[in-house]
Chains A and B, each alone.
Chain A
């Protein structure tokens, strides 16, 4: 079975805390994801995401606070705008836009965190590996 490689960026305040709660609640989820903890989802530069795809990731997940709940007031709105824009460009680069997922997961949503991770992993598994040939490297 194809085991996708997925990189995740979690904001420190909500999604990473939600992931910790999934841990303290002992919820099991797909192990394909490895997270990078940043202070806010808005720290994630679209270049980081493209870089991850270039280096071999099959999917990228960004987790931030729910709209209105951002620890930094408006960081998640900035993220939403960036990701929306990036998704429109990804197709041109030969990466299907649904390999990138942005989700709001709060510190209280350990269960949801586990569900999102498992669901996204399955979705990427179904899509199969991101093929090098379809990725226009020079564009990245």
Chain B
């Protein structure tokens, strides 16, 4: 019989407060297969791991059950521990008596009983575990970055500068993302474009970076080190290889439309470049609004184009790329003012969101950096900024803090005051959250030097009265209701994940949280990885964050990719489903349920053959096999049935 060591972790008091460790040990010590049982306060700590190693060596254990937290957290830790002691790492099993037992039950007797059942079932599994060796797989040392805002740009540059090839995919015609729209950045007030555009140019000139703008990922298959990604290159209506970006077409195009880049305040044409510093410096045709595409009349752009690049080709093209790692940096949007009826529901022109105000402040914006309100172009003398719009409001909107609004609102108020010296900015806030280097000082400066009036309280309603916006709020420090007749109001609306993220995460097989932000593998220790190996996260797609945080996290994701690429070979989990050739009749039922085409029927040999590299180990085929020839490594029918018995008190 196998000699199994059972190690119970107290996890401080996380487990031992509700699971009676002593009682559990008493109940388990004579369980068949158990050669040794021991407890320790923190099994994952170095002394804890040393203890396991020592017992493996001293007692010649050939199976280990660690009764502690979720395997998601420490399976890898303990696998490495037993491996270091010379035991095969797949003979280590974890019994989850924390997340699925001690934390969810209060009654000690009940929790202890349940923990014993869980541990017994895992001992049963360990008794039948076989030694497995990881399957070695080649790596494609090329990364794909999805989303080319500052997060994607930083990641791409870091990876490319390490010598690996990068494909940078962006949905919009130009890279740059939201940061390209910003005016100045807190707390240093350097111009956003000035610090971003050099990076954008570096990307476009980098020999290791292949840029795919106006493109979307439509299909992803494969696994870490060996992804196949299908990218749709949206039709631009012209040949980008021929176009030189002179912009004559955009000058002559007669069709004017609101510019997305200027948040609808400025104009663009039906053939357009999103903004003058766009990278790549190319134009696209907006098919839906192009007169020629809709009616067949016009075609002026084609006539004036000096290099004859315009072909009105509407056909999207699809390309397939093989990459070893994918970084998801799809960014954010802001909660639409249209969906906030108490603040006018988008019907009041002088109530704008933060991004729109960035355009108003920007030297390259529709007003050339002069603060003028949208309705009549007047310079607003009383301006009100509202923070936490739709954030921190679980009753009506979103429960989370959007993190950047405190700081950018302070910046807005400050920049406004720098441009309109006789104007008065007011800020309604819930709490000022100014954690960050130089942030608190920046806030103090706004209050003291720029005389921004900060009012602690929320606003319940905005309405138009003559040419004023009436702001009805409350000052919770003086406990008085306040009404301000403002010329303009800026809403710091909540940060939400960008559209289409749900579909993308389904393709990438990564998780999102309840608000649609990407989930990290571990909130503290693995913050830039997804739970799917080879897929990494960067930027606001994961949660709201400012530029410094985004850039450092982007570099973190890049370094994870480089760490992956530094491996000679990748190790593929050996928990695959093989074929017992003595039993298999070649019926092929298992091949039908396999999602990866890993199983093929060999009609000559009347056998099913397995491509071990393709098998991801879901086990669907094992359950389908009528004869039991397909068994999943370390998840065999015998093991599962033994676990069932153990849980129902019939084990051993």
A–B proximity contact (CB within 8 A): yes
| Chain A residues proximal to chain B, CB less than 8 Å | 5, 7, 13, 16-17, 19-20, 22-24, 26-29, 31, 34-40, 42-48, 51-52, 55-57, 68-69, 71-75, 78, 82, 106-109, 114
For A52, the chain B residues whose CB sits under 8 A away are 644, 648
Chain B 102-113 interface mask (CB, 8 Å, partner A; 1/0): 011111001101
Chain A contacts for B641, CB-based, 8 A: 48, 51
With an 8 Å Cβ cutoff, the count of chain B residues facing the other chain is 52
CB proximity of A36 to chain B, nearest CB, Å: 5
The reply to whether B511 and A107 form a contact with Cβ atoms under 8 Å apart is yes
Contacts between the two chains (Cβ within 8 Å), count: 139
User: Is B111's CB under 8 angstroms from A31's CB?
Assistant: yes
Is there an interface contact between A55 and B645, defined as CB atoms closer than 8 Å?
Answer: yes
Cβ contact within 8 Å between B648 and A19: no
Interface residues of B in 368-407 (CB under 8 A from A): none
B532 proximity list for chain A (CB < 8 A): 71
* Contact partners of A39 in chain B: CB under 8 A: 575, 617-619, 632, 635
Residue of A nearest to B621 (CB): A42
* Contact A23–B644 (Cβ < 8 Å): no
Instruction: List the A side residues contacting B616 at CB < 8 Å.
Output: 72
B481 to chain A, nearest CB (A): 37
Verify if B600 is at the interface (C-beta below 8 Å from A).
no
CA distance in complex: A140, B110 (Å): 31
B509 at the interface (CB under 8 A from A): yes
Taken together as a complex, chains A and B put the C-alpha atoms of A69 and B507 apart, in Å, by: 9
1/0 contact string of B503-515 vs chain A (CB within 8 Å): 0001001011110
B103 to chain A: which residues have CB within 8 Å?
23-24, 26
Q: How far is the CA of A75 from the CA of B620 in the complex (A)?
A: 6
Residues in B lying within 8 Å of A, measured CB to CB: 70-72, 96, 98-100, 103-107, 110-111, 113-114, 117-118, 121, 506, 509, 511-514, 519, 531-532, 575, 593, 595-596, 616-620, 622-624, 632, 635, 637, 640-641, 643-645, 647-650
B502 to chain A, nearest CB (A): 10
Given A34-B117, A107-B519, verify A45-B513 contact (CB < 8 Å).
no
Is there an interface contact between A27 and B637, defined as CB atoms closer than 8 Å?
A: no
Q: B595 to chain A: which residues have CB within 8 Å?
A: 72-75
Cα distance, A44 to B478, chains bound together (Å): 63
Are A42 and B623 in contact, CB atoms less than 8 angstroms apart? yes
| Cβ of A86 to closest chain B Cβ, rounded Å | 11
A44 to B632, CA, bound (A): 11
* Cα-based distance from A31 to B647 in the complex (angstroms): 13
Closest Cβ of chain B to A3, distance in Å, is: 9
